[in-house]
Amino acid sequence: MKKILLITTGGTISGINSSFGIRPAPVSSKLIPKIEGIEITKLDLFSIDSTDIMPIHWRRLYNTINENIQQYDGFVILHGTDTIAYTGAVLAFTLTDCKPVILTGSMLPPETEGSDAAANIEFAVRTAAAGEYNGVYLAFAGRVINGADIIKVSSVEKDAFRSYSGFVPKKTYAFPARNGKFPAVVRITPFTYGLDIMAIAEDRAGIVMETYGAGGIPDNEITLVISELAKIMPVVITSPCLGGTDLGRYEVGRRALDAGAVDADKRSTECAAAEMWLRVNQ
């Protein structure tokens, strides 16, 4: 008999419709699948919209898994979809040589007609119990994706997630003893100025800069700002495009490298930000 701990954190997968829109609620026992050969224990850890996820919640998840690692064969985390990529990355970089830790969520609340909640929970439980995916993964709409490589590509389709680049962490980190220092995350647009970046980077431990395509920075004062910031903090360039960055491909990317920025390579923005938070707090 495989033993699975199902940890609930809120999100649409536990949501109910209210006059103010969908809000999280306790997960109904009716959603817990009955699968031969699998014993499921439910633990309600917290109940929030994933928009409200903060490092304190990652710490509770991390500690809960470590405290129960000997009693269970695998773990399933029910999570809101909007920040599941951040949670997946943090756990993937910190839970090493771990039993299956499978994240899942849903695009529709359980009581909504056509909801994907029950199907995704069962898929995640079966994935955790199979023992094939040791470590942190997302199981969603029939796809299994490495926890550090999750990207949400739709806010309406049930098949809402993809693998960003195939990235698998090779380096691991200790979970920070306290929240410590935080990175800033900035998206470069034609409307971004160097002063904007300086203001955002103030009192931060690093900056993740999401640019365009294969990566690069404009030939204006932003280049000078990055040159100055890179002397005192890590500056990592990411891309919103599947596949990642390649700063050596174009002149604008080489400009970023020359200014002292670091190529995120196969890391998504969420993955790069999570890793930077862990790295600067070691």
* Rounded-to-integer distance, Cα 48 and Cα 241, Å: 29
- Residue 152 known to be catalytic: yes
One-character DSSP codes across 107-138: SS-TTSTT--HHHHHHHHHHHHHH-S--EEEE
In this prediction, residue 242 carries a pLDDT of: 98
- Of the candidates 60, 93, 96, the one whose C-alpha atom is nearest the C-alpha of residue 79 is 60
Task: Return the CATH fold of 2-163.
Answer: Rossmann fold (3.40.50)
Query: What pLDDT, in 10s, does the model give residues 151-166?
Result: 999 999 999 999 999 9
Which of the residues 3, 42, 152, 181 is marked catalytic? 152
Describe the strand order of the beta sheet including 207-210 as a list of residue ranges.
Answer: 184-187, 207-210, 235-238, 262-263
Full-model pTM: 0.95
* Rounded-to-integer distance, Cα 169 and Cα 73, Å: 22
In this prediction, residue 19 carries a pLDDT of: 64
* Rounded-to-integer distance, Cα 48 and Cα 152, Å: 19
* Rounded-to-integer distance, Cα 59 and Cα 56, Å: 5
- Residue 12 known to be catalytic: yes
In this prediction, residue 65 carries a pLDDT of: 97
* Rounded-to-integer distance, Cα 11 and Cα 198, Å: 34
- Residue 149 known to be catalytic: no
Q: Tokens 């680049």 — which residue?
A: 165
CB atoms within 10 A of CB 113: 5
- Token code pair at residue 122: 């069962």
Query: What pLDDT, in 10s, does the model give residues 222-251?
Result: 999 999 999 999 999 999 999 999 999 999
CA end-to-end span of the chain: 39
All residue ranges of the chain with pLDDT < 70 are 18-19
Query: Any idea how long the chain is?
Result: 282
* Rounded-to-integer distance, Cα 173 and Cα 90, Å: 9
Identity of the residue numbered 101 = V
- Residue 250 known to be catalytic: yes
- Residue 86 known to be catalytic: no
Class of domain 184-280: alpha beta
Which of the residues 73, 82, 196, 258 is marked catalytic? 82
* Rounded-to-integer distance, Cα 31 and Cα 121, Å: 8
Q: Which residue ranges does the chain devote to CATH 3.40.50.1170? A: 2-163
Which of the residues 42, 250, 258, 265 is marked catalytic? 250
Write 21-29 long-range contacts (CB < 8 A, 24+): 22/109, 23/49, 24/48, 24/49, 24/80, 27/78, 28/110
Cβ atoms of 135 and 147 closer than 8 Å = yes
Q: Which residue ranges does the chain devote to CATH 3.40.50.40? A: 184-280
In this prediction, residue 20 carries a pLDDT of: 73
In this prediction, residue 213 carries a pLDDT of: 96
In this prediction, residue 21 carries a pLDDT of: 73
